[in-house]
Structure 1
Amino acid sequence: MCEGPASPEAASTSKPLDIDPSKLAIHKTTKPKALLDPSNLIFGRNFTDHMLTIEWAQTDGWRAPTIQPYQNLSLDPATCVFHYGFECFEGMKAYKDKAGAVRLFRPDKNMERFNKSAARIALPTFSATALTDLIARFARLEERFIPRERGYSLYLRPTMIGTQKTLGVGPPAPRCSSSSRRPSAPTTPRASRPSHSRPPTTPCVRGPGGVCDKKLGANYRACVLPHT
């Protein structure tokens, strides 16, 4: 039976480019933040002390990961992520069990979708095991930000963006992967309240060629207005 060409996702994820957790360099902040009372936390507003960053080079592949004091991302206005949406991410949670150990919730599923999302927009894929290991080490470093109260967790946002400075349409290179660049404070009851919004009038395409089964930033822009 003759089959057509493999999908971009299948072609890219079949040979993941390895990240080496053993090369992780940690630079701790000298100005740790004061912890907020859990009742005052707002989802997406409060951040931890550090960020985990892994850069990609077209010739070298994934470079050594680093954990360093948190800082805002600074990019040239010509960077392709601003013009063509080369950006994907995941939403993960780290929490503490009854013994106080830090746990990740279903990281294998997050990494599987993260790789699919990256491949769909021509960003490099990676070793899911290696990145999970790095995120776990990052969560343990920031464990003081995870309240012990029941129902609380630390929200992690692994993000990958295209950093090539170009206005031409094409696969982004070089690239940069920033895992947990912006981990927020734990989710609060305020974030779990029902959302009162009208349903969107434009259907979401999930058939062949669609991207709504991927976690891309572009998929969220259409749902903002209905929530206002």
Structure 2
Amino acid sequence: MSDTTTPPGPAQSDLAGLEGILADKESVRVLRYPHETEADEEGNTTEWHCDIVIVDDVPAAGFSTYATVGARGLPTNVTTPEGRQIRSEFVIVGRTGHRAMADVLDACALAVATGSIHVAPGAVIPNAVGLVDSGRTCEHLVLTPPFLWPDLEVVDESGGEDGTGPLLTRLQAVPITTAEMSFLVREGPDALFEKLDSADADVTNPDRPSVV
């Protein structure tokens, strides 16, 4: 992951599907994270980037939404029962001013690019928070269908401009503790989210106490 980001500007990023969280927003920031693939057998590498859209005061005042743009270009090796490819973009919420959440979301794209996760609800990205924002109580991420943005487009079945492209989903990344990650492995993601809900856990706070 790069230590620096470049602001490409919203006009240079495809914001399709994010209209529901961009409505009435006078300014939208985009950070570009440059990356390079590992060298192949011939020593060749490929440059690629992940754009992170930052929208303040969404889903509420004092909070910011971070959303990937372009992660859909990364193969997930996940398909529908009919064999259609499924690609994913990611969203996360944080307190306004906690810009490390942009780095955390870029870690989601990196995990997809390296093939280290099965991109689906309930998938865990170990140490995605800890590696880029050390010292937080919640060091890991779990993916789930988005639940904080009622107007966010979650599934796009259009297949792009020509109608032949992959089905697109959006997944929310939720920071979790090591104890919660272990509980999820034992009991499953539904059991963990029931505990988070019962405890009224603040999933926007990466320093919240563990619910298990």
Under TM normalisation by the shorter chain, which class is it? Answer: under 0.3
Instruction: Flag the structure with higher strand content.
Output: 2
Higher RCO (Cα < 8 Å, 6 or more apart): 1
Compute the TM-score of the two structures, normalised by the length of structure 1: 0.26
Q: Provide the TM-score with structure 2 as the length reference.
A: 0.27
Larger radius of gyration: 1
Q: Return the structure number with greater helix share.
A: 1
